[in-house]
Structure 1
């Protein structure tokens, strides 16, 4: 299957020729269409083309250098199916492989949205932590896995990694705020939830202190926890940059960020400082591993593509 992107551009009339020349000289583009005076808001020409995914970042960078993002419009969408000999040739001519390409503009936009401290984000991370709280008290692995899948924390983590590599302090601050405030709020609500569940007889301290073969690892961090977090950070970053977002579910259920936060909250409600501290260490260890691995992965991808671009005639 050919990995192609479709670009729909609105260009001021005086910039259309420059835009067309840029598209024509970019290796990996095809299906160029120019519709003069078709746009009304903003007014201008409409230019459309398809570009191989591995050439997309170069073209988008060039379009932004022309100021098209401020004076016109740049819209990008993935093409699920393209039956065209010209598309096949464009993809073959473009350097590298589409699955390996990094669209930095798309990544920045995606992480910006996913790392915003919103009501929806707070709701998801709080619900995930409360589900995990039920899982740790009942020693139920199914609930733990479900809570991991619901948790939205990888968005801010990816935002931090992207901000470090692209040197964007505002994105870093926004992502860090969402991560810290999100977990703090979720844990605070879960403490109250735990006290309520204890009051109605659904949680007991004996359940928390009993042997928990399925969930005991959550408050006993070790080097394996860090190794898994690093591997998950690499896999999660690759899933974002390669547009294989479906893999994020697997990444989410491989690290114990949300369950660790939940166990810390439940233990805190019962005054169990040992489990509270152990779970907090597990949480911090996982967050650190993911950030280090994700940042290193993005930096390696950026270096790889810059070298490949320099070596392309």
Structure 2
């Protein structure tokens, strides 16, 4: 169940209420006249079945409610309501499977913002990955994978393609490229300092590393794992139950590969640099493709659900 809140001019309230009252997914409808001070208008709230959110938001957007007021959606953690339960039963589809595209797009924009926090997490994760490579530590490698924030922009690339949002695609690509370049650049500088101090040796980077050898030796399994992880990650961020993201982060070696690139540059070892670069690209491309395909399938499936819902709502209530 989702909680819907609308701030709208008084002149639009009756039209909005008509849309909400005739929608089977809506319950708990409340209208408070002259409650909004800035911008002046009315407050409308309702509970809606998650399965019906997309169609309802599309109708409200077509009315330009979001341009003259605001539309807010938030997940209701716990709710006890007979009418709400009946609204979910009436609405075709599953609440867990339902993809609320407005929610997905908002999250995609939020996670592609290139800011100090994103760059800090990316840099710290890459530094931990480089130390994991030097010490050949699987535990540190996993820690770096979980800490890396790069999956958000990767998933946003798929959202941008499926929803045809060129600006989002540019933002996501810029955040990925600048984030990795900044993290690798800072790690290179610190690795050079560590080498000058004698803390990092050529043998530590190029010698046998049984626990972290996979970081710079991509193969067919690297791509397959990236595709599976990318699909799982997109399902986690689009469904009502956001689980499994930690497993996605641990499965792919984007950040460890970035850390190994920095070490390879610091010790001037071309094989390390190119092998790690290949691993990084394989993982990024695999996850981006998987995200796009998963979102495409979800969009097509929910288009069919929307058609079923439209037919369902067209049936006179006395016949149901």
- TM range, normalised to the smaller chain? over 0.9
Could you tell me how far apart the structure 2 residues matched to 1:123 and 1:97 are? 38
Could you tell me how far apart the structure 1 residues matched to 2:149 and 2:17 are? 40
Query: Structure 1 residue 214 and structure 2 residue 211: aligned?
Result: yes
Residue 158 (structure 1) aligns with: 155
| Map 1:80-229 → 2, pairs under 5 A | 80-229=77-226
| Map 1:194-273 → 2, pairs under 5 A | 194-273=191-270
Deviates more, 1:242-251 or 1:271-280: 242-251
Residue 52 (structure 1) aligns with: 49
Q: 1:23 aligns with which of 17, 20, 23?
A: 20
Could you tell me how far apart the structure 2 residues matched to 1:154 and 1:25 are? 39
Residue 34 (structure 1) aligns with: 31
Residue 304 (structure 1) aligns with: 301
Deviates more, 1:223-232 or 1:202-211: 202-211
Could you tell me how far apart the structure 2 residues matched to 1:86 and 1:5 are? 14
Alignment TM-score, normalising by the size of structure 1: 0.97
Q: What's the CA shift for 1:246? A: 4.2
Could you tell me how far apart the structure 1 residues matched to 2:15 and 2:200 are? 67
Q: What's the CA shift for 1:54? A: 1.1
1:41-84 CA-partner distances (Å, limit 9, x unpaired) = 11111110000111111111111111111111111111001111
Could you tell me how far apart the structure 2 residues matched to 1:234 and 1:280 are? 22
Q: Which ranges in structure 2 are unaligned for 5 or more consecutive residues?
A: 313-320
Q: 1:285 aligns with which of 260, 263, 282?
A: 282
Query: Structure 1 residue 295 and structure 2 residue 292: aligned?
Result: yes
- Determine helix, strand or coil for the equivalent of 2:209: coil
Instruction: Decide whether aligned partners of structure 1 residues 244 and 196 sit closer, same or farther in structure 2, where only a CA change above 3 A counts.
Output: farther
Residue 12 (structure 1) aligns with: 9
Residue 318 (structure 2) aligns with: none
Q: What's the CA shift for 1:171? A: 0.5
Could you tell me how far apart the structure 2 residues matched to 1:155 and 1:211 are? 33
Q: What's the CA shift for 1:243? A: 3.8
Q: Which ranges in structure 1 are unaligned for 5 or more consecutive residues?
A: none
- Determine helix, strand or coil for the equivalent of 1:212: coil
Could you tell me how far apart the structure 1 residues matched to 2:24 and 2:217 are? 53
Could you tell me how far apart the structure 2 residues matched to 1:299 and 1:15 are? 34
Runs ≥4 residues deviating over 6 A: none
Alpha-carbon RMSD: 1.0
Could you tell me how far apart the structure 2 residues matched to 1:186 and 1:248 are? 22
Q: What's the CA shift for 1:201? A: 2.7
- Determine helix, strand or coil for the equivalent of 2:244: helix
